Structure formats: structure tokens, C-alpha cells
Amino acid sequence: MAINTDQVLVSHSEIEQMLERLSSELNRDYGDEPLIVVGILTGAFIFTADLVRRLEMPVIVDFMQVSSYVGEFSTGELKIKKDMSYDIKGMNVLIVEDIVDTGRTLALLKDLLLKRQPKSLKICTAFDKPSRRVIDLVPDYNGITVPDEFIVGYGLDLDGKYRDFDDIRIVRKE
């Protein structure tokens, strides 16, 4: 079975516009207050890098790698593959995610990080797929809402491939 990734859903210029809008919102909301940005690996690494370069407040960048799925099924438990390096107690924290789909993993992560007593905890996603949501979770900062399609590019992958596209493309199996 061949994979076709020719159909562009979100262009590079639309991603640039999204980054400008999100960074403006974040700069307005946080002002000069320091911010710990926690990128969720692996998919959010490109979005995290592009976003933090546009932020004007003092920023610490950290990463986590988490999962609550085995194959296609949620276990209901959060597995931490890589934890953050910084203590977030009393700090403003922004979780940066590539895409919010069902919301299960992100809801579990949010609960975990709130136990670490940050001053504030917000979620920023590049792409949001609310049609697939099974948990009542709305990102505080939403980049672009996308339809229920399997997408790759701009950090999103299929078996580790296609992360390097500078746009978002729909995956079609032929």
C-alpha cells in the first residue's frame, strides 16, 4: 500500500500567520513575566522552536515525552518517557503541543503538572481536532482547527516520517 502526501491542508504561510497570532497573544497575556515553555516530544519540537523565538518575555524551554496509549487504545494512565528538568512550582507554565485530538493524554498531563503547583498552567496547540475530542479539554491558545484527517508535516509524523514538511498535508493510502 502506497502513501500519498501530496494534498496540502495548511500552507507554510498559514503556519507563519498562526505563529504571529499566537506569539502576539502570549506576549500580551504574559507581558514581562517569566514563562516555562514545555514542548511535548516529539511532534511539538518544531512548533516549540518557532514559537519561542517570537516570545518577548524571559523564557525557559523544557521538554516532556508522554503517552497514555498502547497502540490505538488509551490505558487511562500517563506514562512519562522523559520528564522535564525544571521545578515549575510558582512559575507560569505553557504546555506546547503539536495537535490536540481526543484530549486524553493532555488532560492526564495537565492534572500531573497542576500537582507540581505552578503559578499558572496553560495549553497552546498548533493544531486542534475538536471533532475527535472525548475529554472536555479546550486549549487556551489554539493555532489552527483541522478536520478529522490523518495529517503530517511541521513536526507531525507517520511512523517517524514526514515531520520535515514545512506545511501540513493529508495522508492518503493508495
Q: Is residue 96 part of a domain?
A: yes
Q: Is residue 75 very low, low, confident or very high in pLDDT (cuts 50, 70, 90)?
A: low
Q: Residue 13: which H helix or E strand, with range?
A: helix 12-30
Residue 13 has pLDDT above 70, yes or no: yes
Residue 57 has pLDDT above 80, yes or no: yes
How many domains, in total, are found in the chain?
A: 1
Q: How far apart are CA 117 and CA 154, in angstroms?
A: 32
Residue 76 has pLDDT above 90, yes or no: no
Tell me, what's the pLDDT at 46? 98
Q: Model-level pTM?
A: 0.94
Q: Which domain holds residue 125?
A: 10-67+87-146
CATH code (residue 35): 3.40.50.2020
Give catalytic residue positions.
101
* Span 52-72, average pLDDT: 87
Tell me, what's the pLDDT at 127? 98
Dihedral sign computed on CA atoms, order 23, 29, 35, 39: negative
Q: Is residue 21 part of a domain?
A: yes
DSSP state of 156: B
Q: Based on the number of CB atoms within 10 Å of its own CB, is 32 exposed (0-12), middle (13-18) or buried (19 or more)? A: exposed
